[in-house]
Amino acid sequence: MFTQPTPYPDVNVVLLRLLTEAQAVLGEAFVGLYLYGSLSSGDFDPHRSDIDFVVVTSDMLPDETIQQLAALHDRLAASGLKWAAKLEGTYITQAALRRYNSADGPFPGINEGRFYIAHHQSDWIIQRHILREYGAVLAGPPPHTLIDPVQPDDIRRAVRGILREWWQPMLNEPSQFRSTEYQAYAVLTMCRALHALDSGTVVSKPVAARWAQTTLDGRWHALIDFALLWQPGDEVDHFEEMVEIIRYTVSMAIV
């Protein structure tokens, strides 16, 4: 029976729709639906957060079922539901969820309104940890029964890989990320990466930012304040400082 999984009625409406339609499409292949990210950590911000979800299936899905899932997300996008455009998630088999293997998949997913099929990157080492430790159950068994513990050094290796493979190349052409929304996102992401490298665990972006304010050099404090407080419509530019904190964080990954 579906209970209200979040304190946000509009979010619950879209989650109930997702759950009902995913179960109808997947039938006996449906294992569970879970939330991770800010909705499970308690740091959800209605002005800037996404709805991060994972649907677990019993096996790889045939092409016909994947097409039905694509149609499901097209219907949600056209539904007019407030949070439908903020759904970001993946459909993954129970066996592949157990532990990360880059060869597993590819898996269907939805991101920024685009339905796609792709292999999971190394960031899914981190996502597994978050889902296992903090995931919220909408339907299915507890996530810790589906996922092996993720070790601290595995988290550190994953963070180093993301910083080297994704963020370091961005430093070659950072001007594409001029928006203040992206600047705030990048700063908070760097705080979380630095916290993970230090602790071998993953916390929410706001928690990591508050840690960074008590740990990092004072030159970053105003920048972190900006990132924590940013709301749509705020246009104070911190582009140069954003580039510098990315550069600093990447340097921590290659020492």
* Res. 227 pLDDT band, cuts 50 70 90: very high
Looking at residues 145-157, what average pLDDT do you find?
A: 96
Beta bridge mates, 52 = 36, 88
Q: What is the pLDDT of residues 81-125, one digit of tens each?
A: 989 999 999 999 999 999 999 999 999 999 988 999 999 988 899
Q: Which of 247, 226, 229 is nearest to 237 (CA)?
A: 226
- The confidence score (pLDDT) of residue 3 equals 65
* Res. 239 pLDDT band, cuts 50 70 90: very high
pLDDT greater than 80 at residue 41: no
Q: Determine contact, residues 38/49, Cβ cutoff 8 Å.
A: yes
pLDDT greater than 50 at residue 43: yes
Amino acid at 251: S
Widest CA span in the chain = 55
Looking at residues 146-168, what average pLDDT do you find?
A: 94
Report the percent of the chain where pLDDT is more than 90. Answer: 75
Mean of the per-residue pLDDT values of the chain: 92
Instruction: Compute the distance between CA of residue 27 and CA of residue 31 in angstroms, rounded to an integer.
Output: 9
pLDDT greater than 90 at residue 174: no
Task: For the domain covering 9-145, report its CATH number.
Answer: 3.30.460.10
Three-state DSSP class for 2? coil
Sorted by where each begins, the domain ranges of the chain are 9-145, 152-253
pLDDT greater than 60 at residue 2: no
Beta bridge mates, 32 = 56
116: region left, alpha or beta (phi > 0 left; psi from -120 to 50 alpha): beta
Instruction: Compute the distance between CA of residue 246 and CA of residue 168 in angstroms, rounded to an integer.
Output: 8
Instruction: Compute the distance between CA of residue 235 and CA of residue 109 in angstroms, rounded to an integer.
Output: 32
Query: Which has more pLDDT, 254 or 137?
Result: 137
Instruction: Compute the distance between CA of residue 53 and CA of residue 152 in angstroms, rounded to an integer.
Output: 23
